[in-house]
Structure 1
Amino acid sequence: MKFEIYCDESGLEALSNKEAHAYTGIGGIWIPADQRVALKEGLGAIKAKYNIHGELKWQKVSPAYLSMYKEIVDFFFNAGYIRFRVILVEAEKVDHIRFNSADAELGFYKFYYQLLQHWIFDFNEYVVFADLKQNRNKGRLKELEKALDNSNYTSDITQVQGLPSHESLGIQLADILTGMVTAKFNKEYKPEAAKAQLIQYLEEKYLSREIAPTAKWEEKFNVFKINLQGGW
């Protein structure tokens, strides 16, 4: 079966500046490739309802558009073909000198690998679309593709491609969900703010609990807080 994965990140600066945030989040949505049109039409209809022509983004959540973003959360949870996974990296415990030759960019893509690797299953084909960014090493995405392909002998990672977020509703959905989870862990919003209300809406209507790390077999809304301390 063919799958597409759309990825984005939140709080990336914490990987090179530990004072910026407590956590960096890297998240992605997984869909069967034949559901791409359904995803595009579903999110497009919500944008059209609210006369939105620009990007959907976590940073754009505001009182004026809170109802729209609640509908986007509804769309995600009601669309059985969409799955979401986010990896949370505790910035204080990242040691780029020891593990990444003092290269924060390399460390970022190692965490990207951890996001993707554990949801690649045998006998499938995957295409990964990452939010386009200017990397110091222009070959990072190709290296990630090769690492994933070499680790999955019975699956095929056909492409890992950078894509501008304004061209992809999939990346925009990943941005919103990743931003929500990362903001929850970073506690960087006021309780009365629209962002806080959106997080509370998701928690109360769909999770019946606060956003927190989930069991690894959770398929719809998977939150993985990576353990960087080692041990058992």
Structure 2
Amino acid sequence: MKFEIYCDESGLEALSNKEAHSYTGIGGIWIPADQRATLKEGIGAIKNRYNIHGELKWQKVSPAYLDLYKEVIDFFFNANYVRFRVILVEAQKVDNIRFHNADAELSFYKFYYQLLQHWIYDFNEYAVFVDLKINRNKGRLKELEKALDNSNYTSDITQVQGLPSDQSLGIQLADVLTGMATARFNRQYKSGSAKEQLINYVEQKYLDKEIVPTAKAEEKFNVFKINLQGGW
């Protein structure tokens, strides 16, 4: 079966500036490739109802657009063909010098690998689309594709490609969900704000608990807080 994965990140600056905030989040949505048009149509219809022509982004959640983002959340949880996974990285515990050749960009893509690898299953094809950014090493996406391919002998990673987020509703949905989960871990919102209200909406209506690390088997809203402590 063919799948597409759309990814974005939140709080990336914490990997190089440990004082920025506690966690960096990297998240992605998984959909069967033949459902791409359905996803596009569903989210596009919500944007049209609110006369929104720009991108959906966690940073744009505000009182004026709270109902819009609640509908986006409803769409995600009611679309049984869409799954979400986010990896939360505790920035203070990332040792770029010891483990990543003093290269914060390299550590970022190693964590991307951890996000993707555990949801790649045998006998499938995967196309991965990430929010386009300028990398110091222009071969990073090819390296990530090769690492995933080499680790999955019975699956095929057909591409890892950067896309401008304004051209991908999948990446925009990943932005909203990743930003929300990362903000919850960082407690990075004001009391009573629209962002807090949206987090509470998800937790009360769909999760029946706080956004916390989940079991690996959780398939709809999977939260992986990576353990960088070592030991056993």
TM over 0.5: yes
| Aligned equivalents of 1:136, 1:190: Cα separation in 2 | 35
AA at the equivalent of 2:225: K
Percent of residue pairs identical: 83
AA at the equivalent of 1:225: K
AA at the equivalent of 2:30: W
Secondary structure, aligned partner of 1:210? coil
| Aligned equivalents of 2:185, 2:222: Cα separation in 1 | 14
AA at the equivalent of 2:188: E
1:139 maps to 2:139: yes
Equivalent position of 1:53 in the other structure: 53
Counterparts of 1:138-177 in structure 2, within 5 Å, are: 138-177=138-177
Deviations 1:85-112 (A, max 9, x none): 0000000000000001100000000000
Secondary structure, aligned partner of 2:86? strand
1:44 maps to 2:44: yes
AA at the equivalent of 2:34: D
AA at the equivalent of 2:6: Y
Secondary structure, aligned partner of 2:212? coil
Equivalent position of 1:13 in the other structure: 13
Pairwise CA distance, 1:191: 1.6
1:223 maps to 2:223: yes
Equivalent position of 1:107 in the other structure: 107
How high is the TM-score relative to the length of structure 1? 1.00
User: Can you give the 5+ residue segments of structure 1 that lack an aligned partner in the other structure?
Assistant: none
Secondary structure, aligned partner of 1:105? helix
Deviations 1:118-171 (A, max 9, x none): 000000000000000000000000000000000000000000000000000000
Equivalent position of 1:30 in the other structure: 30
| Aligned equivalents of 1:149, 1:155: Cα separation in 2 | 7
Pairwise CA distance, 1:204: 0.1
Secondary structure, aligned partner of 1:122? coil
| Aligned equivalents of 2:116, 2:191: Cα separation in 1 | 32
AA at the equivalent of 1:218: E
| Aligned equivalents of 2:90, 2:209: Cα separation in 1 | 22
Deviations 1:175-195 (A, max 9, x none): 000000000000111120000
Secondary structure, aligned partner of 1:119? coil
Secondary structure, aligned partner of 1:126? strand
Secondary structure, aligned partner of 1:109? helix
Secondary structure, aligned partner of 1:52? coil
Counterparts of 1:192-231 in structure 2, within 5 Å, are: 192-231=192-231
Secondary structure, aligned partner of 2:224? strand
Pairwise CA distance, 1:64: 0.3
| Aligned equivalents of 2:188, 2:111: Cα separation in 1 | 22
AA at the equivalent of 1:202: V
User: Can you give the 5+ residue segments of structure 2 that lack an aligned partner in the other structure?
Assistant: none
AA at the equivalent of 2:65: Y
Equivalent position of 2:67 in the other structure: 67
Pairwise CA distance, 1:63: 0.2
Pairwise CA distance, 1:231: 1.5
Secondary structure, aligned partner of 2:203? helix
How many residues are treated as equivalent by the alignment? Answer: 232
